[in-house]
Structure 1
Amino acid sequence: MKKFVDAPFLPTEVEIEQITEDSAKISAFPFESGYAITLAHPLRRLLMSSSVGYAPIAVKVEGAKHEFDSIRGMLEDIAIFIINLKELRFKIKGEEEQLEIEYSFSNAQEIKASALENDDVEIINGDHHLATINSDCTLNFSIIIQKGIGYVPSEDLRDLIPADFIPVDAFFTPVKKVTYDIEKILVEDNPNYEKAVFTVVTDGQISPIDAFKEAITTMYSQMSVFNKVFDLSEVKMVEATSSDSSIDLKDLIVKIEELNLSARSFNSLDRAGIKFVGDLALMSEVEVKSIKNLGKKSLEEISDKFAEIGYPIDGSLDEDTASALRKKLEQLKA
């Protein structure tokens, strides 16, 4: 017997299958008919376009004036050298968004990508060929490595790099391939529910699971623009079964500077106008992650500090506590 419903079915299950280190399957189900593809298509686009990666954006080769030049004693001309360089997959070890690194090679040898790894950068595809030089050659060059998303052609980089560098097409996206399948799944007696199965393959700069998490975070952050029109805090997806009454406002009106954060973390928060712990407590996790120049290590440091005072980032504040906190912060900032 069919029955009327007044809301779409909410999917409840997620399955993760790690195929290899750089590939995984993520499945979510059960969806109402038509809902799985509604979710899957934009997520695939976000995975391909919004995942953060690292790429060389410019190179300077001693003795070469332009990309059509050549270097004595190097088998490849500069154009081929740049093509090989574009295929290198870097990963900056620290929290810097841009690095300029100098390299020098001499004596007859084949230079592979692994030779470029140092204390500042990790090379993902170490076996990749870069250049071949003979005993008469000394190859000195500098690379600018940048953190970014998507693809940026070299023409758009000319005004962003030093004049003596040659711009390089930047392929930031660490996701190599994303596919999805929509499968039918049985729920009770209804065979028309759906299962969305994503297959994600990355180049090793990021795990496929982390890339998927980033895409979800990006989707949420893009949707947050509607917070300006609708008070989404009033939308309750699941009724709370209990409330945490242990939150003390005294912990939330502590100044950020009293948390003894690293200079990088403190400066990121300070530039964003965040002066008190309560400012962060009122933000969603997506909003915290969107703070400019707040890297992964800084976020982990802040999370640890919040855990010390017994309050996790993105913990749920009931409306009365949130309202009281806002009023108190307004008074302190007045």
Structure 2
Amino acid sequence: MKTIKTEPYIPEDVKVEEVGENRITITVAPFESGYAITFAHPLRRLLLSSSVGYAAIALRIEGVTHEFDSIRGIVEDVSQFIANLKHIRFNIKDKQNDSSVDLSYNFKGPMVLNGRDLVNDLTDIVNPDVYLATINENFSLNFSLVIKKGIGYVPSEEIRADIPEGYIPLDAYFTPVKRVVYDINNVLLEDNPNFEELVFDIQTDGQIKPLEAFKDAIAVMYKQMSIFGVELNEISTPSRNTEDSGELRTLLMTLSSLDLSARCFNCLDRSGLKYVGELTLMQENDIKNIKNMGKKSFDEIAEKLQELGYPIGVEISEDLVAMFSRKLAKLKA
């Protein structure tokens, strides 16, 4: 006899395993039948389309006027140089001011120019062995780059109007996620073989760790779906159980999923804080008194909590606090 349910089963088991360089598997179970694909497909799309990365968007080479020009002092022509450049993956070192950097380089031949040669005080290269060009003897190659932070793919035609004069626009491949596949397997739960296990296989290029990319995709999904909570509340009030369930998920969001600045996140992490709910239960002075908490970091936290619908000092129902406390104790056990 089939059990009559009033709500779907909520998965409880999550396992993360490193299976290679910048590659992990994430296993989540058990899902009700049909639920695994419901979450798998949109998360895969978000990982591929919404993960933040860095790319060169503009290039200027001394003595070069357009992308079909040639350079006497190097083996490659400009178009091949650009093709090689697109394979080099940058990382901006200053995560608090990482939206854009301008770089200038000067190299004198003879030498083989690789990705590692582009490392400087502003940027790292995550694939240092990538070949860029061969510079001939007694020739100096001078060029400048604009590196931007972004998501997805932006063709050079859409960039042309936004770059400095004299620069060649480049197709920008921001996406740091190289590969996302998933498998769905049947698992047994309480003698029922129709539950599902979802296994993600995620690989990045090194600009971002795959687990961080996955958390960011979850955060994007939360933000995209939050509009329904705002708009629908004006139409009707959800049942208490539905409301508490959604609010509990928000409180259980990890702080690492909020896209906080490195300084702000490290301050909270060193204090042992991991979840949004822990911050919502603190008063304003308690947050300000966290060690190394500056005004800028406090303002950033206040803004994030406001976006989530939990401004600092907001009153939370005793039932929700109790549910969160029980779940938190289990997570930290």
TM-score range (shorter-chain normalised) is 0.7 to 0.9
Secondary structure of the 2:82 match is: helix
> What corresponds to 1:251 in structure 2?
285
Equivalence map 1:209-220=2 (5 Å): 209-220=211-222
User: Match for 1:189 among 176, 188, 191?
Assistant: 191
> What corresponds to 1:237 in structure 2?
245
> What corresponds to 1:117 in structure 2?
119
1:133-171 Cα offsets, whole Å, 9 max, x none, are: 111311000000000000000111001101210001000
Please give the TM-score of this superposition, normalised by the length of structure 1.
Answer: 0.76
Q: Determine the C-alpha separation between the residues in 1 that align with 2:109 and 2:150.
A: 35
Secondary structure of the 1:237 match is: helix
> What corresponds to 1:132 in structure 2?
134
Cα distance change of structure 1 residues 238 and 210 upon mapping to structure 2, 3 Å threshold = closer
Following TM superposition, by how much is the alpha carbon of 1:280 offset from its aligned partner in structure 2, in angstroms?
A: 5.7
Following TM superposition, by how much is the alpha carbon of 1:213 offset from its aligned partner in structure 2, in angstroms?
A: 0.4
Following TM superposition, by how much is the alpha carbon of 1:248 offset from its aligned partner in structure 2, in angstroms?
A: 7.5
> What corresponds to 1:301 in structure 2?
none
Secondary structure of the 2:208 match is: coil
Aligned residues between the structures = 280
Q: Determine the C-alpha separation between the residues in 1 that align with 2:207 and 2:239.
A: 36
Q: Is the 8 A contact 1:51 1:214 kept in 2?
A: yes
Q: Is the 8 A contact 1:283 1:314 kept in 2?
A: no
- Which one-letter code corresponds to 2:78 in the other structure? I
Equivalence map 1:164-175=2 (5 Å): 164-175=166-177
> What corresponds to 2:43 in structure 1?
43
> What corresponds to 2:321 in structure 1?
none
Q: Determine the C-alpha separation between the residues in 1 that align with 2:107 and 2:115.
A: 13
Q: Is the 8 A contact 1:252 1:281 kept in 2?
A: no
> What corresponds to 1:223 in structure 2?
225
> What corresponds to 1:306 in structure 2?
none
> What corresponds to 2:56 in structure 1?
56
Residue 15 of structure 1 pairs with residue 11 of structure 2: no
> What corresponds to 1:318 in structure 2?
316
Secondary structure of the 1:49 match is: helix
- Which one-letter code corresponds to 2:157 in the other structure? E
Following TM superposition, by how much is the alpha carbon of 1:6 offset from its aligned partner in structure 2, in angstroms?
A: 1.4
> What corresponds to 1:299 in structure 2?
none
Q: Determine the C-alpha separation between the residues in 2 that align with 1:66 and 1:173.
A: 26
Segments of structure 2 that go 5 or more residues without pairing to the other structure are 249-276, 319-333
CA RMSD of aligned residues (A): 3.2
> What corresponds to 1:153 in structure 2?
155
Following TM superposition, by how much is the alpha carbon of 1:189 offset from its aligned partner in structure 2, in angstroms?
A: 1.1
Q: Determine the C-alpha separation between the residues in 2 that align with 1:198 and 1:217.
A: 17
Cα distance change of structure 1 residues 315 and 81 upon mapping to structure 2, 3 Å threshold = farther
Secondary structure of the 2:75 match is: coil
Secondary structure of the 1:7 match is: coil
Please give the TM-score of this superposition, normalised by the length of structure 2.
Answer: 0.76
Q: Determine the C-alpha separation between the residues in 2 that align with 1:64 and 1:118.
A: 24
> What corresponds to 1:5 in structure 2?
5
Q: Determine the C-alpha separation between the residues in 2 that align with 1:151 and 1:173.
A: 7
1:66-90 Cα offsets, whole Å, 9 max, x none, are: 0011112110000000000111100
Q: Is the 8 A contact 1:155 1:167 kept in 2?
A: yes
Cα distance change of structure 1 residues 20 and 316 upon mapping to structure 2, 3 Å threshold = farther
Secondary structure of the 2:194 match is: strand
Q: Is the 8 A contact 1:93 1:121 kept in 2?
A: yes
Following TM superposition, by how much is the alpha carbon of 1:319 offset from its aligned partner in structure 2, in angstroms?
A: 4.6
